[in-house]
């Protein structure tokens, strides 16, 4: 076969780009919303919404894993088309957002949410850049694209404000102990 034939097959179709946009938009919105809720719960601005079973906190990464398993099975066994495929792409993005929001727990259990500010910011920026990379050309933007962009922009702004506030609040708690530790350390 000629190289042109292979190049044509290797290019993602418009359907693949549409599904990637659905997945990535759902991921960004879910990740930011999960971070906002965690910050609000931990700062005691809103009540504890966590699910507790037998005194154990059920982390939302578990919901994400089950969603990823479910959507994977749905895609494999039902092979949906059209709107059902777009919905599956969105559920996949939500599952990824819930799972990757607690990525630190994959590496070690018990890490502090407050220590993750830079990681959170990097993930949000990377996801936004990825979303821009698969976005349609400006002239092809439809109302849904503009609504999604406006919603993500608003959520990102809220996330940024809450992140700065939570880092400042954590700093007020941590800095005095760090200064005390420094003052009392030998040498």
Assess contact for 101 and 35: CB atoms under 8 A: yes
Q: Per residue in 18-45, pLDDT tens? A: 888 888 889 888 988 988 888 788 778 8
Distance of alpha carbon 82 from the chain centroid: 25
Segments in the chain below pLDDT 70 = 1-12, 104-122, 125, 129, 167, 170-171, 173-187
What is the residue extent of each domain of the chain? 13-103+112-184
pTM value?
A: 0.66
Among the listed residues 133, 150, 96, the one whose alpha carbon sits nearest the alpha carbon of residue 17: 133
Contact 40, 162 (CB under 8 A): yes
């Amino acid at each position: 076969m000629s190289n042109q034939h292979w190049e044509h097959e290797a290019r993602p179709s418009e359907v693949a780009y549409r599904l990637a946009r659905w997945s990535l938009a759902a991921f960004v919105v879910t990740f930011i919303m999960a971070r906002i809720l965690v910050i609000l719960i931990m700062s005691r601005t809103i009540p504890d919404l966590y699910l507790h079973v037998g005194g154990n906190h059920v982390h939302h990464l578990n919901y994400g894993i089950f969603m990823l398993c479910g959507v994977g099975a749905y895609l494999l066994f039902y092979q949906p088309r059209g709107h059902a495929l777009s919905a599956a792409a969105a559920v996949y993005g939500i599952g990824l957002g819930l799972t990757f929001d607690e990525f630190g727990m994959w590496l070690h259990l018990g890490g502090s949410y407050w220590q993750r500010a830079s990681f959170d910011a990097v993930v949000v920026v990377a996801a936004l850049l990825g979303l821009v990379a698969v976005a349609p050309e400006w002239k092809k933007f439809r109302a849904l694209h503009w609504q999604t962009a406006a919603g993500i922009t608003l959520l990102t702004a809220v996330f940024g404000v809450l992140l700065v506030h939570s880092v400042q609040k954590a700093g007020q708690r941590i800095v005095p102990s760090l200064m005390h530790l420094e003052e009392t350390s030998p040498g």
